[in-house]
Amino acid sequence: MAQEFAAQKNSMDAQALINEAPVSKYQWMIAIICFLIVFVDGIDTAAMGFIAPALAQDWGIDRSQLGPVMSAALGGMIIGALVSGPTADRFGRKIVLTISMLIFGGFTLASAYAPDLNSLVVLRFLTGIGLGAAMPNATTLFSEYCPQRSRSLLVTCMFCGYNLGMATGGFISSWLIPTYGWHSLFLLGGWTPLILMVLVIFLLPESYRFLIVKGQDPAKVRKILSHIAPEKVQTAEHFHIPEEQSAVAEKKNVFGMLFSKQYAKGTVLLWSTYFMGLVVIYLLTSWLPTLMRETGATMERAAFIGGLFQFGGVLSALFIGWAMDRFNPNRIISGFYFVAGLFAVAVGQSLSNPTLLAVLVLCAGIAINGAQSSMPALSARFYPTQCRATGVAWMTGIGRFGAVFGAWIGAVLLGNDWSFTAILSLLMIPATAAAIAIFVKSLVAHTDAT
């Protein structure tokens, strides 16, 4: 369809328009809304970890009984990501985003009134479906409004809202839960996305690239692009976008595109990298506070160290995004994964020095969270419009199995009396595997979409 538009008189290359124009206030508005979406997603994703101690005390249950409710959201996130990608590529990014926010906002709100543990497990699973759908589609939609010259920087900075949300959830819960109870964090995490959903409905546009590819009325595209470069779009009767290879771009089956000759190797390597990265992150985020408590650290210090780890990715987002737009992005990310493994090993060797421990945990967070936060931007620039939402969402969905494995293997190792130092040293293996996988992608599947 895009090729038909290109052949018509007064057809404008919409992507070239975005690339050549300065970033407009309209695009910054889209950036802010998408940032807020992933920020709230991060708060709700991490909420159960902050609530667990107070919940266990309030309901009089052992913390070991919280395993199902701690992992329920992860299961839902896998389903949400896998289903939402193809749905967004068929029906649009905006409608999927809106529904996903309704789902995770509504069920987070309902979680505040859960009468028992089994009910909370179900509610957190349903919440996870919305959480898993929101983040990759916000990333996809925003990436399609970014100029190619700074796409990685802008998308990575937007996505750092996820890590910032997880860290902020910890800071907020430290005073909110003791003052108002564990229900209060669920209430905050439920109402915030529902209010934000109103902004999405009335202010966030559908992806102009999606509208063009689907052959929608050019007037809809013109109305959107007039907010970005009004003087250039008024005379255009039609709009088109360049496609990487017409034979691939015209495929109807998005899964066929992911595993076509051009994209199959990159797809497998992206999935492998994201999986391994989440093994490292979730083993650390799930068990680092517990491991530190067992070494004699106070609860407050353990929470502080955990917050430093989450905050590290925010600090590295600007640099990694900037570097990805100027150098081979796969190799930039590969280097950060490898360095993350080294810092994880160093953390395990620094238990006797609290100051050094805090610095090394921050550095580990900068490396691993920075690399992981850059993966959606890398995925979005790798796939064409027709399967971009599916590509990003399936990478995050398949990767969530790594999160489940990371949390599980931590419990297994602790149960077998592994030491803090030994567990962290073991993380060098998945970190190195992630580094190798994404480096290999730079050799065999480096082609970027427009």
**pLDDT for residue 293:** 65
* Coil vs helix vs strand at 182: coil
H helices of 115-252, in order, are 117-143, 151-180, 183-203, 208-213, 218-225, 230-233, 246-249
350-367: average pLDDT = 87
pLDDT of residue 236: 77
CATH topology of domain 14-206: Growth Hormone; Chain: A; (1.20.1250)
pLDDT of residue 63: 65
Calpha distance 305→287 (Å, rounded):
12
pLDDT tens digits, residue range 388-406? 889 999 999 999 899 888 8
Q: What is the pLDDT of residue 419?
A: 85
Q: Are 393 and 84 in contact (CB under 8 A)?
A: yes
| pLDDT band for position 250 (cuts 50, 70, 90) | low
pLDDT tens-digit series, residues 84-114:
999 998 999 999 999 999 999 999 999 999 9
Report the share of the chain in percent with pLDDT over 70: 91
Same fold, 14-206 and 251-444: yes
The CATH class that applies to domain 251-444 reads mainly alpha
Q: How confident is the model at residue 2 (pLDDT cuts 50, 70, 90)?
A: very low
Secondary structure percentages of the chain, helix, strand, coil, to 5: 80, 0, 20
Per-residue pLDDT of 377-387, as tens digits, reads: 899 889 888 88
The residue with greater pLDDT, 225 or 241, is 225
The residue with greater pLDDT, 275 or 152, is: 275
User: pLDDT tens digits, residue range 124-139?
Assistant: 999 999 999 999 999 9
Better-scored residue on pLDDT, 295 or 79: 79
Higher pLDDT, 10 or 187: 187
Angle between helices 67-91 and 117-143 (to 10 degrees): 40
Average pLDDT over residues 291-303: 67
Which residue blocks in 60-92 are alpha helix, DSSP H?
A: 67-91
Q: What's the CA gap between 6 and 236, in Å, rounded?
A: 11
- The DSSP code for 207 is P
Q: At what angle do helices 67-91 and 25-59 cross, to 10 degrees?
A: 160
Domain boundaries, the chain: 2-13+209-249, 14-206, 251-444
